[in-house]
Structure 1
Amino acid sequence: MPSPPSSRGAANRIRPDIELLDEEGLDGLNMRSLGKRLDSAATAMYWHVKNKDNLVRLATDEIWGEIELPDLEDLDWRTAAEALADGMYAMITRHPWIAQAQAGYLHYGPNKSRYDDRILAAFEKAGFDDAGADRAAATLFMFVLGNAVGHAADVSLNRRLSRKGEDAETQLAQAMSEATEIAGHYPRLRRRLENPTTANDYNAAPESSFAFGLTALLDGLRDRLTGALG
Structure 2
Amino acid sequence: MPRDTLTRDQIVRAAIDLMDAEGLEGLNMRALGKRLNAAATAMYWHVTNKDNLVLLATDRVWGELTLPDLEAAGWRTAATAMATDLYAMFTRHPWLVQVLAAHLVYGQSKARHDDHHLAVYETAGFTGDQADRATAAVFTYVLGNAAGTAATASLSRKLTGEQFHDAMNSAQQIAMGYPRLRARLRTPAADDYAAAPDQSFEFGLQALLDGLERHLTV
Return the TM-score normalized by structure 2. 0.91
Deviation at 1:46, TM superposition (A): 2.8
Taking a change above 3 Å as real, the CA distance of residues 45 and 174 of structure 1, as seen in their structure-2 partners, is closer
- 1:130 matched to 2:119: no
- 1:190 matched to 2:188: no
- Structure 1 unmatched ranges of 5 or more: 1-8, 162-167
Distance in structure 1 (CA, Å) of the matches to 2:41 and 2:72 = 44
Aligned to 1:169: 161
Identity %: 58
Letter of the 1:32 partner, please give it: R
Say whether the 8 Å CA contact 1:11–1:62 is kept in structure 2: no
Taking a change above 3 Å as real, the CA distance of residues 185 and 71 of structure 1, as seen in their structure-2 partners, is same
Distance in structure 2 (CA, Å) of the matches to 1:144 and 1:171 = 29
Distance in structure 2 (CA, Å) of the matches to 1:22 and 1:96 = 7
Aligned to 2:15: 17
- Structure 2 unmatched ranges of 5 or more: 1-6
How many residues align structurally?
Answer: 212
Aligned to 1:207: 198
Letter of the 1:185 partner, please give it: G
Deviation at 1:36, TM superposition (A): 1.2
C-alpha root-mean-square deviation of aligned residues, in Å? Answer: 1.8
- 1:218 matched to 2:209: yes
Q: Secondary structure at the match of 1:68?
A: coil
Say whether the 8 Å CA contact 1:17–1:34 is kept in structure 2: yes
Taking a change above 3 Å as real, the CA distance of residues 218 and 89 of structure 1, as seen in their structure-2 partners, is same
Deviation at 1:65, TM superposition (A): 0.3
- 1:108 matched to 2:100: no
Say whether the 8 Å CA contact 2:59–2:106 is kept in structure 1: yes
Say whether the 8 Å CA contact 1:13–1:42 is kept in structure 2: no
Residue deviations 1:171-190 (CA, integer Å, cap 9, x gap): 11111111111111111111
Taking a change above 3 Å as real, the CA distance of residues 185 and 42 of structure 1, as seen in their structure-2 partners, is closer
Say whether the 8 Å CA contact 2:24–2:95 is kept in structure 1: yes
Letter of the 1:193 partner, please give it: L
Matches within 5 A, 1:23-38: 23-38=21-36
Deviation at 1:43, TM superposition (A): 6.2
Residue deviations 1:6-60 (CA, integer Å, cap 9, x gap): xxx9544410111111111111111111111225499635334222111111100
Distance in structure 2 (CA, Å) of the matches to 1:198 and 1:112 = 38
Say whether the 8 Å CA contact 1:92–1:98 is kept in structure 2: yes
Matches within 5 A, 1:148-167: 148-161=146-159
Return the TM-score normalized by structure 1. 0.87
